[in-house]
């Protein structure tokens, strides 16, 4: 099981942000009017299936490939927010059975409040599924959270992870929070939702 972001994927999702550039400065849209953005690298594709807000995207990944989605400027206040302040983090998926780490949420974690990512927390669909293809990190208390740098292979849920690290934040300056697939398979993701109080 590979739950670390491969170098190829990291290069894609860094999106060429220079030092000192904050994600919160990205163009934002009113809630309900945001559109997911695709990224892909290696032997993989990400195809947007609609132009509407919260539309779907199909991720088709072969060995060595990576594909995923994020919101450019979507609820950008999540960046720099305390882990315990996130109120919505979910997506629906269909297609192949989930693999060990795909599809999954990857959340950049800032442990020391300098805005930078120390490591990624991962929530894979294979261990976070309500039986109807929904990954609901905040609302489903059975969703395992993986964050090995702190010595715990799998937290019971997001609430336990956030409570154990009350000062940790979603990284502000160097990475997006995204849904990703980097193991072979084809999945369609829709209604990707990210938010904190008031969002």
Q: Which tens digit of pLDDT belongs to each residue from 52-73? A: 667 899 999 999 999 999 986 5
Contact of 89 with 105, CB cutoff 8 Å: yes
Q: Examine residue 1 and state whether it is found in any structural domain, yes or no.
A: no
Q: Is the peptide bond before 103 cis (omega within 30 degrees of 0)?
A: yes
Domain that holds residue 11: 7-195
State the Cα–Cα distance between residues 163 and 26, nearest whole angstrom. 29
pTM above 0.75, yes or no: yes
Tokens describing residue 144 = 């395992």
Show contacts of 113-119: CB within 8 Å, 24+ apart: 113/167, 113/169, 115/22, 115/80, 115/171, 115/172, 115/173, 115/174, 116/171, 116/172, 116/173, 116/174, 117/171, 117/174, 117/175, 118/149, 118/171, 119/147, 119/148, 119/149
Q: Examine residue 35 and state whether it is found in any structural domain, yes or no.
A: yes
Backbone angles phi, psi at 29, to 5 degrees: -130, 160
Backbone angles phi, psi at 31, to 5 degrees: -50, 135
Q: Examine residue 2 and state whether it is found in any structural domain, yes or no.
A: no
Categorize the per-residue pLDDT at 26 as very low, low, confident or very high, splitting at 50, 70 and 90: very low
Q: Examine residue 128 and state whether it is found in any structural domain, yes or no.
A: yes
The tens digit of pLDDT for each residue in 171-185 reads 998 999 999 999 999
Q: Examine residue 147 and state whether it is found in any structural domain, yes or no.
A: yes
State how many domains the chain has: 1
Residue 72 three-state SS: coil
């Amino acid at each position: 099981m590979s739950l670390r972001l491969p170098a190829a994927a990291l290069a894609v999702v860094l999106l060429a942000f220079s030092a000192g550039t904050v994600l919160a400065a990205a163009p934002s849209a009113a809630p309900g009017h945001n559109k997911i953005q695709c990224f892909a690298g290696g032997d993989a594709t990400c195809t947007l299936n609609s132009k509407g807000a919260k539309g779907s995207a199909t991720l088709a990944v072969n060995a060595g490939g990576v594909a995923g989605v994020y919101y450019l400027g979507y609820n950008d206040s999540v960046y720099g927010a305390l882990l315990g302040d996130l109120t919505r983090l979910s997506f629906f998926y269909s297609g192949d059975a989930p693999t060990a780490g795909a599809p999954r949420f990857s959340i950049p974690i800032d442990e020391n409040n300098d805005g930078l990512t120390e490591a990624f927390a991962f929530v894979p669909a294979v261990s976070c599924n309500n039986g109807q293809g929904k990954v609901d990190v905040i609302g489903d208390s059975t969703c395992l959270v993986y964050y090995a740098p702190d010595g715990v292979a799998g937290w019971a849920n997001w609430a336990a992870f956030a409570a154990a690290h009350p000062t940790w934040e979603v990284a502000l300056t160097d990475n997006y929070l995204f849904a990703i697939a980097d193991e072979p398979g084809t999945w369609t993701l829709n209604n990707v939702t990210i938010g904190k109080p008031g969002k």
